[in-house]
Amino acid sequence: MEAECSSSLDVNQEFRQLTISEIHFVTKNFDESLVIGRGGFGMVYKGTITNGTTHLVAAIKRLDSTSKQGEAEFWAEVEILTKLRHCHLVPLIGYCNDGEEMILAYEYMPHGTLEDHLHNFQTPLSWVQRLKICIGVARGLDYLHTGTGIKHGVIHRDVKSSNILLDESWNAKISDFGLSKLGPINQPSTYVNTVVKGTFGYLDPDYFTTGRLTRKSDVYAFGVVLFEVLSGKRAVDKSLGEEHLGLARWAQESVKEDRLEQIVDLNIKDEIMPKCLKEFARIADWCLDRNPKQRPTMAEVVVCLESVLAIQEKASNKLHHARMRKFGWAQVVAELGPMLNASRNYYTEKSKLKSEMIKEKFVNQIQQMYDDSQLVKIAKEQTMHSNLLTQSLGVVSKKLRKTEEKQPIVRDRTQGYQDQNMQEDTL
């Protein structure tokens, strides 16, 4: 079941070569105020590029002349992203190669990187959000490995949380293909002999020791990302101690010793269903198998993660409805307390407008708590309670009206007693 992805670029839209004058215009001559990122490659600027009648907000990556990432990696990224289009790959808008300037322009991703939200911003990403992000990355990698439609599949070679971008809808987009390699797609065990490159903490141990790069090297790195998402820990985390500096080893030992609850990020600990936690950890551990041949394909990972999401959502819905049946209307009635107090003010002050505002506020609060389908179901299941509630409100209103009607009589009688007492005192 493919997730809906958003992109202002059509999958068949051609990228184009950009002129250096156009780059200078959209970046205001590389104005420092437009910098949105810095890396080993250089600066990233935000600007708007015109493509025909379309205006695209872009992230413009300018390769630093002193960067370790050279011309070969620049052209590798251009070659791959100009051939491939997928909703879970960051779209390339264009490139510029003008003398010493080598520049790539991507579609801008408003929510930045997954790394930022896990480690830098401390964004409270929910467990379901994290699951959907992982599924998106897995689908993107599966496409690279086997579904590109070209003769060769693509091995990313640098899968990590900082290379996972998030669009305005929090959909995951794989980025940074400078280290990627092409490999035959009809032979799962085919490897590419290459100089070892990547990021420490995500590197496949087999690739590191043998120099043989396979698609299963991406699978290993993705396994590290899965544990990173689950635990909120970095791939290399000093808080784990010198013995367990690497997240992969620490997490695998936790799985083996059945200490799963201890590795879960506290921000999501209360959200995860036990069955989902166990299955998610099993998938991540499977990806980290020391033997590359024993690791799953990304297609298998996609299916497994979608199953975890389905279990989580089903269990969450059941728990929600169970709570509603047990406590739902009691909570609603409790919410009515302020409204009833305000109703007294209404009948005392005869303020119809205020009453309507209070009712509207109450309705908005309920709508924020439950979506439309839940409200419809609740209404059907609790018709009798609703009628009783309505009747109760009617009784309260009636009593308030009677109280109001009696108030002039009480005031008259009180005034009468006071006048009589004054006369007696005068005598």
The DSSP-derived string for 235-295 is SB-GGG-GGG-BHHHHHHHHHHTT-HHHHS-TTTTTT--HHHHHHHHHHHHHHT-SSGGGS
Q: What's the pLDDT score for residue 409?
A: 61
114 phi/psi in degrees, rounded to 5: -65, -35
168 near 111, Cβ under 8 Å? yes
347 near 393, Cβ under 8 Å? no
Q: What's the pLDDT score for residue 10?
A: 46
Q: What's the pLDDT score for residue 338?
A: 58
Please tell me whether 61 is known to bind a ligand: yes
Q: Give the pLDDT band of residue 326 (cuts 50, 70, 90).
A: low
Handedness of CA 78, 83, 89, 92 (dihedral sign): positive
DSSP, collapsed to helix, strand or coil, labels residue 95 as: strand
Q: Is the pLDDT of residue 263 over 80?
A: yes
Mean pLDDT of the chain: 80
Higher pLDDT, 415 or 74: 74
Active-site residue flag, 158: yes
Q: What's the pLDDT score for residue 124?
A: 86
**Residues facing residue 101 across a β-bridge:** 98
Q: Give the pLDDT band of residue 331 (cuts 50, 70, 90).
A: low
Q: What's the pLDDT score for residue 154?
A: 92
Query: Which amino acid makes up residue 214?
Result: T
223 near 229, Cβ under 8 Å? no
pTM (predicted TM-score): 0.72
Cα-based distances in Å from 205 to 220, 233, 303, 366: 9, 20, 25, 53
DSSP, collapsed to helix, strand or coil, labels residue 224 as: helix
Q: Taking residues 120-137, what's their average pLDDT? A: 93
Higher pLDDT, 341 or 53: 53
Element (H, E) at 75: helix 71-83
Cα-based distances in Å from 212 to 39, 189, 195, 209: 27, 10, 9, 8
Higher pLDDT, 107 or 185: 107
167 phi/psi in degrees, rounded to 5: -85, -170
d(CA 104, CA 62): 7
Q: What is the percentage of the chain residues whose pLDDT exceeds 90? A: 49
Q: What's the pLDDT score for residue 425?
A: 46
Q: Give the pLDDT band of residue 376 (cuts 50, 70, 90).
A: low
Cα-based distances in Å from 305 to 79, 272, 283: 31, 14, 8
d(CA 201, CA 342): 59
Q: Is the pLDDT of residue 359 over 60?
A: no
Instruction: Report the range of poorest mean pLDDT among 22-31, 40-49, 283-292.
Output: 40-49
193 near 200, Cβ under 8 Å? no
pLDDT in tens, 78-101: 888 888 889 999 999 999 988 778
Q: Taking residues 266-276, what's their average pLDDT? A: 93
Q: Taking residues 177-188, what's their average pLDDT? A: 74
Higher pLDDT, 196 or 206: 206
Which residue in the list 31, 64, 158, 425 is annotated as catalytic?
158
Whose structure tokens read 């199953």? 307
Q: Taking residues 292-321, what's their average pLDDT? A: 90
Q: What is the percentage of the chain residues whose pLDDT exceeds 70? A: 66
Cα-based distances in Å from 230 to 201, 220, 223, 224, 419: 16, 16, 11, 10, 78
**Strands of 35-39's sheet in order across:** 16-17, 92-98, 101-107, 54-63, 42-51, 35-39
Q: Taking residues 140-154, what's their average pLDDT? A: 85
Q: Taking residues 306-319, what's their average pLDDT? A: 87
Total Cβ atoms within 10 A of residue 319: 11
Q: HSE on the CB side for 383, CA within 13 Å? A: 2
Q: Are strands 92-98 and 16-17 parallel, antiparallel or unpaired?
A: parallel
Q: Give the pLDDT band of residue 4 (cuts 50, 70, 90).
A: very low
Cα-based distances in Å from 415 to 230, 383, 404, 406, 426: 73, 48, 17, 14, 17
Q: Taking residues 316-345, what's their average pLDDT? A: 58
